[in-house]
Structure 1
Amino acid sequence: MKLKTKMKKLFAILFLSFFTSSAFAQDAEKIGAVKKFVEEIGNKVITVASEKQTSDSKKREKIIAVIDASIDAEWIARFVLGKNYKSSTEPQRERFIKLYRDFMINTYGPKFKNYNGRKFTVNEVVEQGGFYIAKSEFLPRDSNVAISVDFRVKERAGRLAILDFIAEGISLIETQRSEFNSAISQKGTDKFLDELTERVENLKKQK
């Protein structure tokens, strides 16, 4: 009886050990994939920004395309709309999702065009609240001061996607959620969307 009990315990330990090791391996594999995904985005941005024969307007266009392909704009837009998502109509939601995508990539994409000559590094990837946080830095050419940017990443529809940019500890989507919902409360959804449309059109005109 004692032998059988010991064998059962040993089997249970081996069984648990197998699945624990398997889970750790899967986590390590996912963390590695997230690191590679973010590194590729950062390096693409720097490569475009460093193209000497490319005009600023063309750099802007190419960097916007890199950012657009890397994010899940619909998820971000729904998060930013927050409590107003449920109370808005379907046409309002569709309009906001399209507008917010254009607003986001045309606001933040062009900022990276000045990152020419920098080095991009992902220092660490950690799992946090169901997301992966890639803690990263852009190292300037002529200074020891690095620009810290964390990328919140999750697998969406079978692919990795960026859901948030966190610069110096400040979340982009949390900040815009607060700003946009305050504007909707004051002006109403349709008025807010009209004003956002105007902002997007002005952003697209910038070079």
Structure 2
Amino acid sequence: MFRRFILGAVASAPMLAAMAGAAHAQAMSPDAAKSFITQSGDKLVAIVNGPGSQSQKASQLRDLVNQIVDVDQVGDYVLGRYINVATPAQKQQFQSLFHQLLSYNITYQIKAYQGVSFTVNSAAPQGNNVLVDTTVTAPGKAPADVGWVVQDESGQPKIIDVIVAGTSLRITTRNDYAGVITDNGGQVSALLKAMQGQINKIGNQ
């Protein structure tokens, strides 16, 4: 459940060496990345623990995610090599479904993490990116070490991956998505159908 919440809150949501080679990425300082994650974490916690209905909080979190996460880049990454197979229409549909799934995951997990706290520990360069180590704690759950990979996007810091228990969430998601496509004869349409089915299932809960 924690992994799903984190993926929903930032996406996915997913490595370190591979993403260091992004052509448009610029090197950023660990201090700048640490400050960004501190501010972002404070905003996330304030929304989850603050007043308002679940739908109001979900809307606020979606807005926050769109500000601090490069959702489109993460989406392209998790589609992986199949981005070269998908038609333009399929790519557009995939990004739309990916955004919807993040929104649904955010909404679904809010209640479970009421009372969440967030502590920023350290930051270290990873190629052109910075890995910021944090501890996330929620009532009734053991503290979790969570790493946030931050990239400079034209002067603006953006989260492009989350590391939970040493595992990249966007790599995990990419492998899961590739498995669906591979199991269905390499058809990207099968993944789109599965994603839409997941959205429909969550919406009916």
Name the CA distance, whole Å, in 2 between partners of 1:109 and 1:127.
32
TM norm structure 1: 0.75
Select the structure of larger CA radius of gyration.
Answer: 1
Q: Can you give the 5+ residue segments of structure 2 that lack an aligned partner in the other structure?
A: 1-26
1:164 paired residue number: 161
Higher relative contact order (CA 8 A, sep 6+): 2
Letter in 2 for 1:134: V
Q: What do residues 79-121 of structure 1 show as CA deviations (whole Å, max 9, x unaligned)?
A: 1111111122222112212221222343256435543334311
Q: CA, structure 1 residues 110+165, in 2 after alignment: closer, same or farther (shift >3 Å)? A: farther
Listed as ranges, the gaps of 5+ residues in structure 1 are: 1-26
Percent of pairs with identical residues: 22
Q: Tell me how far 1:125 sits from its aligned partner.
A: 0.7
The farther-off stretch of 38-47 and 172-181 is 38-47
Please give the secondary structure, in 1, of the residue aligned with 2:162: strand
SS at match of 2:118: strand
2:123 to 125, 135, 159: 125
Cα distance 1:204–1:89, how it changes in 2: closer, same or farther (>3 A)? same
| 2:150 matches 1:153 | yes
Show the counterpart of 1:68.
Answer: 66
Aligned equivalents of 2:199, 2:188: Cα separation in 1: 16
User: What does 1:35-114 align with in structure 2 at a 5 Å threshold?
Assistant: 35-51=34-50, 53-108=51-106, 110-114=108-112
Partners of 1:87 and 1:127 lie apart in 2 by: 33
Question: How many residues are matched?
Answer: 177
Say what the alpha-carbon RMSD is for the aligned residues. Answer: 2.3
AA matched with 2:37: V
1:199 is aligned to 198
- More helix per residue: 1
